[in-house]
Chains A and B, each alone.
Chain A
Amino acid sequence: MTSLSYIFKEAFNNLGRNALVVLGAILAVFISLTLTFGTLVFGEVVRVNTLQWAKDVRVIAFLQDDMTPEATAELQNEVASWPQVADVSYVSKPEAFEEAVIMFSSNEAMLRTLEESPDLLPASLRVQPVDPEDYERIVIRLESTPGVHQVESAGDAIDAMIALRDGLQIMFWLLAVALGVAAVALIANTIHMAIYARREEIEIMRLVGASNWFVRTPFLIEGAMEGLIGGALAVTFIVVAQQLAVDRLSDLPDWINLAIQNDFILRRGALVLLFGVVAGLVGSSLSLAVHRTLRS
């Protein structure tokens, strides 16, 4: 179609004509989306790592000494059936004794006490929650369960970790949203300038009866292109940067893990590209909507 080729020709001509302004918009999108995507990736690193740490979260239920093996097995099955519980393991008195011997291997006095009365330490159930945030409910439920003598958990540490994770994630999302809005505004501004640069042409187009979509589509395509290019640069940049970080920082303590599932990168990367295009379309629509030359 003549008109379709004309519209694309116009959109690309425009990208070339206002090279500097367009470059500015692409860079702006690139920077905003790099930060947005970087934020998402960093958020994922935090999430993966806290998930890793959360695996070590345990609630320990010390059992009464007079429990029969049958009652103990029954209790273990019951706790395992709770929806908040991922896994339950039984630590018998002898196992508890062995653990303690290893733990206090450098403490002569403690070792001697242990040797004197190997029955001192109670048997226990080690309960791993599905979600570390649920530990408190598990604690409460265990406390009111017959056969349980006492319940222990690293409550404060878990709370602090959860607060840190949630806080970081909220911060990242706010940052991502703010930067996304900035990208839209910058594209809107670029298109605004492109419309201004072509106002005479647009006036004549409207005068001779060019349809609205014919006048507007080149600007929409231009905005979408700027968003797409900026987004592609941002995704490339973050993927390369993340790879470099994983390769170079291999001597980090092993409780920090920078590697992220490729799946996540692909899916979020596609999302960032899509967002770039949408930001471009929204930005150009905004400036088309406010521009006086285009009002009928």
Chain B
Amino acid sequence: MIKLENVTKVYPGGTVAVKDATLDIAKGEFVFLVGASGSGKSTIIRMIMREELPTNGDLWIAGKHANELPSWKVPYLRRSIGTVFQDFKLLPTKTVYENVAFAMEVTAKHRSVIRNQVPQVLKLVGLSDMADRLPRQLSGGEQQRVAVARAFVNRPLILLADEPTGNLDPATSVGIMRILDRINRTGTTVVMATHDHAIVDAMQRRVVELDRGRISRDESRGIYETRQTPVIEDSVAGEIPATQPEAESADEVPEVTVDEAVGGGPEEVLTQDTGDEAKA
């Protein structure tokens, strides 16, 4: 689904953001990109969005050779990629419904498809009751769920998330992770750059660690850090569901059947698995 071969990215001015990175992400994988600030996580995300091109090396995204993709075709590639950012990027003058519908309107989806899909996705992220609210009337976690809904409403092959929980408290983050996990179970490949130890350790997914632009670790069921013993992670992860009130609202995310029409993706019913994993 995503393939980097000896990819190097040098920004104008000479900053080397990514050095000789080789990475192969299969369809349906859930991958964490971890590493210190400036280690190249966001650059890799931006290259997979085709916002940046590799300086050297080859990059394939959803079967397309990104190096040779003409820029006028980039919008069509983007339609198979959903993106979520730390700062949500919602339109303040549009309601929750309109923000999600926007992604379909501007990619010329038919009105009937929009009317059908938007409520489904809002149900998936647990915001059916808030469709008419404006972003400023929502909490940070709810706003990020709107952003996730918008990223997913066009049923992308790939979902990219750059620090999606960076502005959220740990309990709210669990709610977001549960939704991302659910999206991943529909067959969508998820790549998430994060600093959040607790989440990485709890999810037990593939971890790719970057160190000053180089891939220093790639483990199929990894944790955030191997070199230092995590001291506080366990206690934080243990506390989340029990003590934080917002964790309960995250648990209230209704069990939703993701639309069967998702290109053969497995029909997924939300289970308590993720919650258990967070506790584990």
Contact = CB atoms under 8 A, between A and B. Distances in A.
A211 B91 CA distance: 19
Taking chain A's interface residues, is the majority helix, strand, or loop, or is none over half, making it mixed? helix
A296 B71 CA distance: 7
A293 to B, nearest CB: 12
A200 interface: yes
A8 to B, nearest CB: 13
A2 interface: yes
A6 interface: yes
Contacts of A3: 108
A210 B89 contact: no
Given A204-B89, A204-B91, A209 B108 contact: no
Nearest to A205: B106
Nearest to B103: A208
A131 interface: no
A266 B151 CA distance: 53
A206 interface: yes
Interface in A191-214: 200-201, 203-212, 214
Interface in B98-152: 102-103, 105-111, 150-151
Nearest to A295: B71
Contacts of A215: 106
Contacts, number: 61
Interface stretch (B76-84, B214-222, B231-239): B76-84
B75 interface: yes
Nearest to B150: A208
A208 B91 contact: no
A209 B76 contact: yes
Nearest to B109: A2
Nearest to B105: A6
Contacts of B82: 208
Nearest to B79: A209
Contacts of A209: 75-79, 81, 107, 154
A208 B89 contact: no
B74 interface: yes
Contact of A211 (B75, B105, B154): B75
A209 B109 CA distance: 12
Given A6-B105, A214-B106, A206 B78 contact: yes
B140 to A, nearest CB: 18
Contact of B107 (A1, A200, A210): A210
A215 to B, nearest CB: 8
A1 to B, nearest CB: 8
Given A205-B106, A296-B74, A2 B89 contact: no
Interface in A201-242: 201, 203-212, 214-215
A212 B75 contact: yes
Contacts of B78: 206-209
Interface in B29-71: 49, 71
B74 A208 contact: no
Interface of A: 1-3, 6, 200-201, 203-212, 214-215, 296
Interface of B: 49, 71-72, 74-79, 81-83, 89, 91, 102-103, 105-111, 150-151, 154
10 contacts: A2-B108, A200-B91, A205-B106, A207-B83, A208-B102, A208-B150, A209-B75, A209-B76, A211-B72, A215-B106
List 10 tightest A-B contacts by C-beta distance, closest first: A209-B78, A209-B79, A210-B106, A3-B108, A208-B103, A296-B71, A209-B75, A211-B75, A205-B106, A209-B107
Given A1-B108, A207-B78, 10 more contacts: A2-B105, A205-B106, A206-B75, A208-B78, A208-B102, A208-B151, A208-B154, A210-B107, A211-B72, A212-B72
